[in-house]
């Protein structure tokens, strides 16, 4: 028996349990956050070893990543058997109308025969640009021959159709995002190459990115990573990319000593646009876990002050601990719910506001689909409209903290135009005391990372 067939056979017993895990997920009232759900599931049962956790995680994330494609393939298979002359453009119209809402998609996931669903997942899994080295997911050549023919016919039809809708199906993106992709490609003038890079990136997680609190420690941290078996490289001083990630990063001595933080490259690029000078005052108004807060603090060299606020107080407590570990003593934490300005210390009043205010607004998280593919099923057009109202409101309220000649920086982890450039446009129309300085998309398709946006405004009077 070949080693490949042996490997496949050794994993046959796991498929039944993978199906059970999947059904537990899709039969909940709402789709859970997959990575968190899996962590809780694994923690409940000691029978999961490290190899088990990796295998089941890979299977569940493949199902989420390619689930929309599998749904399309299942529907296509049923219809092509009834009508062998079925036209792809006609079937696309039917499918788009039937599954126009996220709730319809998740419900459909729970009604498809699970073995059939995962069959389409496995076919698609090995059609990725970079074919995964996972023999246990392969389907033996002598099985499912009819389904393989249908799969190949489907792929050929999508390729021949060669339009945006066909690409979205192949890369498993719900068709109700069509207008948003169209708007982004047109506004940013992304050519076919850039579009393909963006879509192809959705087939895999981005690498892990490390930001050093002190760039002079880059070589030391890199050496420790390599000694521990990590495949790592320097992107630029202070930024390291891990191409192959294994467990245990948080156990490294350099991490425990506060030398680095895990922070996606695009997120770091947002922070790089806040070009603070020693002694300046900064407000990170939607700080979350505080990745950008600490990044900005590192630029200040403890000479100047940065306030971090968030609606979730537990996040601020976590930030305090991380800041202490990293040796930052100029970070002040204060709760803010996004409405009237919080009561800052007298030092802010004396300066008539902040030199820099960052609004890293809550968003659709469309730019993080590589890392969290489940999030693409949670957003609808209605929720995007609600988000844009919230984003503009937070930006408006936070802008009151900017001093004259100070800067207002707006960012999201989304590529959707309405959440980004459109928000900047609306804000400037309502606030003539601010002027436009710059705006740009960051990360994928330009870098191997998430996709994010940053816009920079300045208060003139």
* pLDDT of res. 70: 97
* pLDDT of res. 247: 67
Residues 109-150 pLDDT 10s: 999 999 999 999 999 999 988 877 777 888 888 889 999 999
For the chain, what percent of residues have pLDDT higher than 90? 80
* Average pLDDT of the chain, as a whole number: 92
- Give the separation between CA 68 and CA 165, rounded to whole angstroms: 13
* pLDDT of res. 130: 81
Q: Is the Cα dihedral 128, 131, 133, 134 positive or negative?
A: positive
- Give the separation between CA 262 and CA 264, rounded to whole angstroms: 7
Closest CA to 369 of 361, 359, 377: 377
The full DSSP string for 126-171 is: TTSSS--S-GGG---TTS-HHHHHHHHHHHHHHHHH-SHHHHHHHT
Higher pLDDT, 429 or 12: 429
Structure tokens at 336: 């803010």
Average pLDDT over residues 148-168: 93
The dihedral over CA atoms of 284, 290, 294, 295, expressed in degrees to the nearest 10, equals -80
Residues 276-309 pLDDT 10s: 999 999 999 999 989 999 999 999 988 999 999 9
How far is residue 441 from each of residues 196, 213, 320, 360, measured CA to CA in Å? 16, 24, 30, 14
Q: What's the whole-model pTM score?
A: 0.93
Residues 65-86 pLDDT 10s: 999 999 999 999 999 999 888 8
Q: With cut-offs at 50, 70 and 90, classify the pLDDT of residue 382.
A: confident
How far is residue 241 from each of residues 54, 206, 207, 208, 222, measured CA to CA in Å? 21, 10, 7, 6, 10
How far is residue 264 from each of residues 4, 161, 225, 292, measured CA to CA in Å? 35, 35, 17, 10
The full DSSP string for 5-31 is: HHHHHHTTTHHHHHHHHHHHHHTSSSP
Residue 260 has pLDDT above 80, yes or no: yes
Average pLDDT over residues 199-224: 95
């Amino acid at each position: 028996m070949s080693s490949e067939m042996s490997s496949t056979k050794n994993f046959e017993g796991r498929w039944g349990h993978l199906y059970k895990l999947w059904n537990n997920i899709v039969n909940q009232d709402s789709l859970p956050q997959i990575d968190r759900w899996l962590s809780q599931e694994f923690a409940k049962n000691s029978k999961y070893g490290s190899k088990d956790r990796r295998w089941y995680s890979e299977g569940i994330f493949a199902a989420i990543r390619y689930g929309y494609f599998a749904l399309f393939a299942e529907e296509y298979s049923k219809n092509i058997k009834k009508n062998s002359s079925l036209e792809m453009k006609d079937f696309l119209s039917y499918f788009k109308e039937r599954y126009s809402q996220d709730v319809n998609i998740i419900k459909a996931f729970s009604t498809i025969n699970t073995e059939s669903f995962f069959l389409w997942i496995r076919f698609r899994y090995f059609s990725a640009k970079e074919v995964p080295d996972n023999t246990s997911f392969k389907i033996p050549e002598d099985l499912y021959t009819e389904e393989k023919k249908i799969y190949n016919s489907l792929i050929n039809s999508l390729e021949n159709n060669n339009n945006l809708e066909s690409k979205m199906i192949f890369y498993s993106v719900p068709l109700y995002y069509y207008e948003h992709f169209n708007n982004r490609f047109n506004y940013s003038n992304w050519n076919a190459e850039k579009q393909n890079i963006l879509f192809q990136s959705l087939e895999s997680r981005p690498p892990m990115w490390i930001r050093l609190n002190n760039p002079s420690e880059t070589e030391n941290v890199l050496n420790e990573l390599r000694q521990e078996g990590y495949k790592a490289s320097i992107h630029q001083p202070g930024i390291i990319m891990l191409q192959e990630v294994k467990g245990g990063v948080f156990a490294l001595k350099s991490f425990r000593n506060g030398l680095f933080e895990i922070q996606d490259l695009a997120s770091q690029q947002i922070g790089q646009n806040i070009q603070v000078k020693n002694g300046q005052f900064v407000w990170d108004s939607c700080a979350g876990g505080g990745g950008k807060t600490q990044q900005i603090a590192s630029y200040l060299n403890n000479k100047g002050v940065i306030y971090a606020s968030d609606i979730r107080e537990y996040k601020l407590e976590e930030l305090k601990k991380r800041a202490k570990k990293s040796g930052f003593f100029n970070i002040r934490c204060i709760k803010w719910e996004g409405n009237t300005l919080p009561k800052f210390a007298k030092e802010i009043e004396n300066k008539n506001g902040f030199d820099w205010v960052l609004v890293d607004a809550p968003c659709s998280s469309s730019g993080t689909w590589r890392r969290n593919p489940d999030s693409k099923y949670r957003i609808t057009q209605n929720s995007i409209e609600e988000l844009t109202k919230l984003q503009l409101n937070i930006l408006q309220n936070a802008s009151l903290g900017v001093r004259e000649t100070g800067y207002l920086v707006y960012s999201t982890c989304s590529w959707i135009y309405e959440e980004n450039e459109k928000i900047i446009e609306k804000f400037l129309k309502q606030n003539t005391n601010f002027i436009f300085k710059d705006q740009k998309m960051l990360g994928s398709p330009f870098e191997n990372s998430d996709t994010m946006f940053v816009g920079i405004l300045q208060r003139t009077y």
